[in-house]
Amino acid sequence: MILLEKSFLYFCDGAEEEEAATTVSSEPLRTSFKAYPPRKSNTSNIIQFPPLGGLPNVETSAEPINNDIWNETATSVGSNGDFENIVDVMLSPVGPSAAPKIDTAKWSGYSSQWILSDYPALVLPVDKVDVDKDGEKVIYKPRDEKDLYNWSLWERYGPEGYKDAPNSVQLIGRRYEDERVIQALEIV
């Protein structure tokens, strides 16, 4: 997958800063943190760049794909060649479920796509798991291994285990349109 190949961008220094911080505080690394290579033991992929402004210049393979899909939402092209009536922001779930329990997340959810494409996104909690409302037993057939893993967590812990966990959505904007995402959040 394109994004997995680019996941090294999460820790361009081989995660040395993060490991130093967790060592000082004696906190363990979380499961989701461990999912993204390279680790300190594999420093061959460390990226050297100026501390400020270097990372946005690293192009990810997913960004052109996202940009093309976004451009297809335009209803017309103006006389100057700019797209018109294009979607301002997208609304998406943050992940496949309510906020995961500590150390059960294996990845950073659907936000990964936007993080690695350098697109601005804001997370908005819209509801919480309610034991009564969400406790109804349903028959569900997972679509793949990842879906099976997420469903097995719900089966294991049930609504009681997720009580009051936030259900969230995210607003996503195009690259360099952070202010537009904030404006959209104020409207939502």
Among candidate residues 53, 44, 45, 50, the one with its CA nearest the CA of residue 10: 45
Residue 47 has pLDDT above 70, yes or no: no
pLDDT tens column, 169-186: 999 999 899 999 999 999
Q: What DSSP element (H or E) covers 69? A: helix 62-71
Mean pLDDT for the chain? 80
Question: How far apart are alpha carbons 97 and 166 in whole angstroms?
Answer: 9
- Supply 98's token pair: 């309510």
Question: How far apart are alpha carbons 31 and 107 in whole angstroms?
Answer: 8
The residues, any chain, with a CB within 8 Å of residue 139's CB and separated by 6 or more, are none
pLDDT-derived band at 9, boundaries 50, 70, 90: low
Question: How far apart are alpha carbons 164 and 157 in whole angstroms?
Answer: 13
pLDDT tens column, 99-148: 999 888 877 778 888 877 788 999 999 999 999 999 888 889 999 998 99
Report DSSP state, residue 186.
Answer: H
User: What is the per-residue pLDDT for 5?
Assistant: 53
Q: pTM above 0.85?
A: no
Worst-scoring range by mean pLDDT, 25-39, 87-101, 104-118? Answer: 25-39
